[in-house]
Amino acid sequence: MKKIIDRFVSYVTIDTQSDPASESTPSTEKQWILARKLAHELDQMGMSEVSIDDNGYIMATLPSNTDQEVPVIGFIAHYDTSPDFSGTNVKPRIIENYDGGDITLNKSKNIVLSPDYFEDLKLYEGQTLIVTDGTTLLGADDKAGITEIMAAMDHLIQHPEIKHGKIRVGFTPDEEIGRGAHKFDVDKFGAKWAYTMDGSQVGELEYENFNAAHALVSTKGKSVHPGSAKGKLVNAIGVLNEFMTALPKKEVPENTEGREGFYHIYKIKGEIEAGELEMIIRDHDLEEFKKRKEFLMGLGEQLNKKYPGAIEVEIKDQYFNMREKIEPVFHIVDIARKAMEALQIEPIITPIRGGTDGSQLSYMGLPCPNIFAGGHNFHGKYEYVPVESMEKAMAVILKICELTATHDFKN
């Protein structure tokens, strides 16, 4: 446990916040600090083929130690943290033998992590938690995943009696701004499949995510003095309002769950002459996803009949449901499930209400389900991770390596 804590703390105290406004890769210079540290540690622990490319993508190999023919598998995590909340000067605090009550993160600011609000805390009574000081995020997303992969590789090196095939490790920048897989060299990685260690609660095993698109809705108006505006003025703000009013009221994130899709407006600006809103469209079902996009385009056409040339709807696909790419090779999910069950961990197989590097990688030719890393309340000051959850994730990695080496791929 101490080794895992020390390793994790050494990672989260390095600020690696990514920046969506930057065009470089990594998007922030400070990500390089942890990237170089990880590459150095991989080399020092005895991994081979350690590389870090010009875009900050880290790869390394643990060679096979068995005479059996075993597919090459990989484990992937990202080292950037979210731009949604500060990652500067992270001060992790260790709570041993958590008593199940409120945890005061910051007394002077009255910031309290309470099981009355965050009910999952009740699952970890008696365990060791790592929390924030209430002024930053923690960075368990996804430095917990990195910690678990590094610890597992170190363990396999120290215990050659555990038989495994060739294992590839990959650490990526900029996942939090949707670019984690954009420059990932799948051919260089050379694995048949991989697992992202980027989930939350113990037991999570995910191979299904949203289909996703971004919509930019722009409106043009005609400004006329309001005293003589009848029949002449076109208010771009009003056109935007009509567009928003026509959206299904209940199909928004705060009213949906499970496989229910939604529309989500997250940015709006406007004046009489011009208005603009940005929104995302999400649905697990591909046909329903297509219908959602068609609905928005049709709504724009209707408003243009009422206000000729006043509205433009641009929709760009962002990513797709990885289920389509994973179902044909479903044994990779079965191996992860069996690994959990062998460790008395109940698999929680649920659709991701979001995206993952694994989605993009699956469409790039690297099928990539997602496994829990153990953290909770990502992207904010209430983020925490139980150390026991990281230990369990590490154990799952080890068991996957072991089971892959003994799996009968002919049947």
Provide the annotated active-site residues: 80, 175
Q: For 282-295, b where at least 16 C-beta lie within 10 A, e where not — what string?
A: bbbeeeebeebbee
User: What span, in angstroms and rounded, lies between the C-alpha atoms of 346 and 171?
Assistant: 27
Helices (H), 13-139: 31-45
Tokens of 323: 């289920």
User: What span, in angstroms and rounded, lies between the C-alpha atoms of 360 and 259?
Assistant: 19
Q: Which residues contact 199 (CB under 8 A, 6 or more apart)?
A: 205, 206, 370, 371, 372, 373
Omega before residue 351 within 30° of 0, cis: no
User: In which element (H, E) is residue 144 found?
Assistant: helix 140-158
User: What span, in angstroms and rounded, lies between the C-alpha atoms of 47 and 45?
Assistant: 6
403, 331 contact by CB (below 8 A)? no
Tokens of 363: 């469409």
Smallest CA-to-CA distance from 196 within 204, 376, 108 is with 204
